[in-house]
Amino acid sequence: MSKNPWGDSTSHTRRPNTSASRIFDATEYTELEPDAEFTDSAHANTSPFASSSPSPPHPNSRPILDHEFLSENDSEDETYGGNTPHVHQRSRAPRQSLEEKVLRVLELIKTVDPRLSLRLFLVTLFDSDTPELKKIANLFHSEDGSQTLLDIWSKRMPEPRRESLNRWALSRAAAVCERSASLLTDEASTGPFKLQADFLRMPASTGVSVQRFRDFSMEKLGSVLESTMEPLQVILKAVIGKEGEGQASGQRVRNPKHARIFVTSILLNLRSRNTNLLRVADI
């Protein structure tokens, strides 16, 4: 009989160990009469750490839709389950292609609701104000996902549908150009380009000083228009198609940058008569 450190007696039988180098064998120790008060259930009831409330979720537990799922990490996927850990090597399924995975997801959508089309699925995902869906959509936009899809659609969309997409793109480009022009005209005194708008104006009531004429420079005017009317400059460069060309050897050619300055100045003057720097300087 051995004395239990808790004050009780517990009987054990031990077989002698004949070699100091032997590996410990749990079968050498056989408990003959365990005390009932030290069984698991009894100990759980008397433990000061016992709690009837359920354990909180582990802080490292993964949500259903996490950043890893939403980001592009398929290059590291060596199994069907992606980065899901496998207990046994033999449980791994053959690697699937991206096309096969997409087809399986589409099949899953149909099992949820046969009436849920891909169009309705995507519109709901990107137009929803639900916090969970909005987070997914914002992450997609932050990784240039929208631009990638637009590039693919503009190249691979069938011709009749592509024409419709081009018209939509032009309408959006027109709205961007209109907004930049508005900041120099309609919001000249309150917008972010107040100093540039003042530079482009030459009030007739105050007259034109000799110094103002001397300070006039096409290069300076061009830099102001480049910084404030950048969307229009991108379109004009593409339309003119001669950007970067200068004086050819033995031949005089027109400067495409000067052409853009004239066109932009005329358009701004048509929008607002007060934006008249080039017109007055040309007189």
In percent, how much of the chain has pLDDT > 70? 59
pLDDT over threshold 70, residue 89: no
Residues 2, 59: Cα–Cα separation, whole Å: 44
pTM: 0.59
Q: Give the model's pLDDT for residue 72.
A: 56
In DSSP notation, 74-136 reads GGG--STTTT---SSGGGPPPP--HHHHHHHHHHHHHHH-TT--HHHHHHHHHH---HHHHHH
Question: Average pLDDT in the 177-181 region?
Answer: 96
Per the listing, tokens 């997609």 go with 140
In DSSP notation, 173-234 reads HHHHHHHHHHHHTTTTTTSTTHHHHHHT---TTT---HHHHHH--HHHHHHHHHHHSHHHHH
End-to-end CA gap in the chain = 119
Type and span of the H or E element at 138: helix 131-142
The answer to whether residues 198 and 163 touch, using CB atoms and an 8 Å cutoff, is no
Question: For 104-162, what is each residue's pLDDT tens digit?
Answer: 999 999 999 999 999 999 999 999 999 999 999 999 999 889 999 999 998 899 888 88
In DSSP notation, 167-184 reads HHHHHHHHHHHHHHHHHH
Closest CA to 197 of 114, 110, 269: 269
CA distances from 21 to 14, 16, 18, 27, 87 (A): 18, 13, 9, 17, 34
**Chain centre distance of CA 85:** 27
Q: Could you tell me how many residues make up the chain? A: 283
Amino acid at 109: I
Q: Give the model's pLDDT for residue 19.
A: 45
Q: Give the model's pLDDT for residue 83.
A: 53
Residues 198, 280: Cα–Cα separation, whole Å: 14
pLDDT over threshold 80, residue 27: no
What pLDDT band is residue 214 in, cutting at 50, 70 and 90?
confident
